[in-house]
Amino acid sequence: MSEPSIFTRILGGEIPSEIIAETENVFAIRDIAPKAPVHLLVIPKREEYRNVVELAAGDPDLLAELIGLASSLAAEHADGDFRLVFNTGPNAGQTVFHVHAHVLAGGLEEESLGA
Ligand code: AMP
């Protein structure tokens, strides 16, 4: 058994972070190192999928639920427009292998293309 991911530990209250929104199967927090005026993370509550490719193949409804919450949050925290980033693999900057979407919004610079 591998250790629970940092996001599972946040969801369980072991690491402090405010859960700013949730649905049945996904939750959202603020990124601790924001790269845009609004930088949120939307995360499935279960960590069985390591990246978005596995998530899309294994549970497309869960991916749709995640994107739905991302869209609602962009409307709530910015003007509704947003950039959705899934870093996939270490060479693309992925550091947490519990799939999560970066929601970037609120006045984006080109350099925030990478989250
Ligand atoms: P990635 O590099 O795509 O795997 O994204 C992981 C993200 O998690 C990074 O943008 C980190 O800044 C963010 N992060 C790491 N630890 C925390 C934490 N305790 N609370 C909120 N965000 C975090």
User: For residues 63 and 52, is the Cβ–Cβ distance under 8 A?
Assistant: yes
CB 91 within 8 A of CB 45: no
Structure tokens at 52: 């978005």
Indicate if 100 belongs to the active site: yes
Count structural domains, the chain.
1
Which candidate, 39, 47, 2, places its Cα nearest to that of 20?
A: 39
Domain of 90 in residue numbering reads as 6-105
What is the predicted pLDDT for the residue at 115? 65
Query: How many A from CA of 61 to the centre of ligand 1?
Result: 24
In a domain, 57, yes or no: yes
> Distance between CA 86 and CA 104 in Å, rounded?
11
**Probe ligand 1: pick from 86, 96, 98, max atoms within 8 Å of CB?**
96
- 112 part of a folded domain: no
Residue 63 lies in a domain: yes
Query: Does 111 fall in a domain?
Result: no
Is residue 115 in some structural domain? no
Give the per-residue pLDDT at 30.
Answer: 98
Query: Is the predicted pLDDT of residue 113 greater than 90, yes or no?
Result: no
1 confidence band (pLDDT: 50, 70, 90): low
| pLDDT the model gives residue 107 | 86
Q: Does 114 sit in the ligand 1 pocket, CB within 6 Å?
A: no
Please pick, among 39, 77, 98, 100, the residue that the annotation labels catalytic. Answer: 100
Which tens digit of pLDDT belongs to each residue from 11-33?
999 999 999 999 999 999 999 99
Q: Residue 102 and residue 107: Cα distance in Å, rounded?
A: 15
| Residue 100 near residue 11, CB atoms below 8 Å | no
Assess if residue 113 is contained within a domain: no
pLDDT by residue (tens digit) across 75-111? 999 999 999 999 999 999 999 999 999 999 998 876 5
- Is 40 part of any domain? yes
| CATH number of the domain residue 79 falls in | 3.30.428.10
In a domain, 31, yes or no: yes
